[in-house]
Amino acid sequence: MIEAGKYTSTQVRTVYSRRSRVYSKTVAPLEFPNHVRAIEKAAIRPDDKVLEVAVGPGLALAEIARRVDRSNTVQGVDISPGMLKIARQTLQAAGITNVVLSEGSAADLRFPDETFDLLYNGYMLDLVSLAEMTTILAEFKRVLKPGGRLVLLNMSKPDEHTRTLRERLYPLLPPKLALYIIGGCRPVLMERPVEQAGFKHITREFVPGRFPSEIISAAK
């Protein structure tokens, strides 16, 4: 894995808010089939307490909300107000009312310890630094109940020996430009960091295609 650009929360929030409308009409629908596959792997039960971190325009969140009881509230967090605005519109258009959205950072989740049965996170760890990954995975673990499931969907590559075009280009771009042009994202391999964070029963599925991705599932 290569290192990500050193972006501040403010930079990420600003850029993803500005890109939110375009992102919701371009990249998000193309990546959506990968979310559906990851959500299927999450095997959501109607009474599961679910948190999605980095909801973006809310396409995956709507799928998650459809899989739980209407009386069961799903929590969704994102750092970018612009993305949250689009997510609200997505949910409203789909007639989904059992979701609470809040602005916040994956590194500092405003939920008590052991709150959730499932934490779902898609296409976010591929833009955070290696050090921040450690903090975020510890935070994910904190809010999961014992035995709770973690499902991650990330931009990825087949294995660590593969060096992708994006990995070659990424370090050549000035960090701010990388954030604007390619969302600051590079392929990641999260199996080992998830193991180092103390999760168990870790599986990885590589999903090839236009947006090569990995689905990691694990349990606390």
Ligand X SMILES: C[S@@+](CC[C@H](N)C(=O)[O-])C[C@H]1O[C@@H](n2cnc3c(N)ncnc32)[C@H](O)[C@@H]1O
Side-chain-side CA neighbours of residue 60 (13 Å): 34
Q: What is the DSSP letter of 28?
A: H
Specify the DSSP element, H or E, that contains 52.
Answer: strand 50-53
**Exactly one of 5, 16, 65, 96 binds ligand X (CB under 6 A); which one?**
16
Q: CA–CA separation, 79 vs 56, rounded Å?
A: 9
Question: With binding defined as CB under 6 A, does residue 152 bind ligand X?
Answer: no
Question: With binding defined as CB under 6 A, does residue 63 bind ligand X?
Answer: no
Compose the 91-120 pattern: x for residues touching ligand X by CB under 6 A, - for all others: --------------xxx-------------
Nearer to ligand X, 122 or 212 (CB): 122
**Exactly one of 76, 122, 148, 212 binds ligand X (CB under 6 A); which one?**
122
Question: With binding defined as CB under 6 A, does residue 62 bind ligand X?
Answer: no
What's the closest the beta carbon of residue 191 comes to ligand X, in angstroms?
Answer: 20
**Exactly one of 62, 63, 76, 80 binds ligand X (CB under 6 A); which one?**
80
Closest CA to 12 of 152, 136, 134, 176: 176
Side-chain-side CA neighbours of residue 125 (13 Å): 29
Question: With binding defined as CB under 6 A, does residue 187 bind ligand X?
Answer: no
Question: With binding defined as CB under 6 A, does residue 78 bind ligand X?
Answer: yes
What's the closest the beta carbon of residue 165 comes to ligand X, in angstroms?
Answer: 18
Angstrom CA distances, 169 to 9, 21, 209, stand at 23, 26, 20
How many residues in the shown chain lie near ligand X by CB under 6 A? 20
Question: With binding defined as CB under 6 A, does residue 31 bind ligand X?
Answer: yes
Using CB positions, name the residue nearest to ligand X: 56
Question: With binding defined as CB under 6 A, does residue 79 bind ligand X?
Answer: yes
Contacts of 153 (CB under 8 A, 6+ apart): 34, 35, 38, 121, 122, 123, 213, 214, 215
CA angle 37, 39, 44 (to 5 degrees): 140
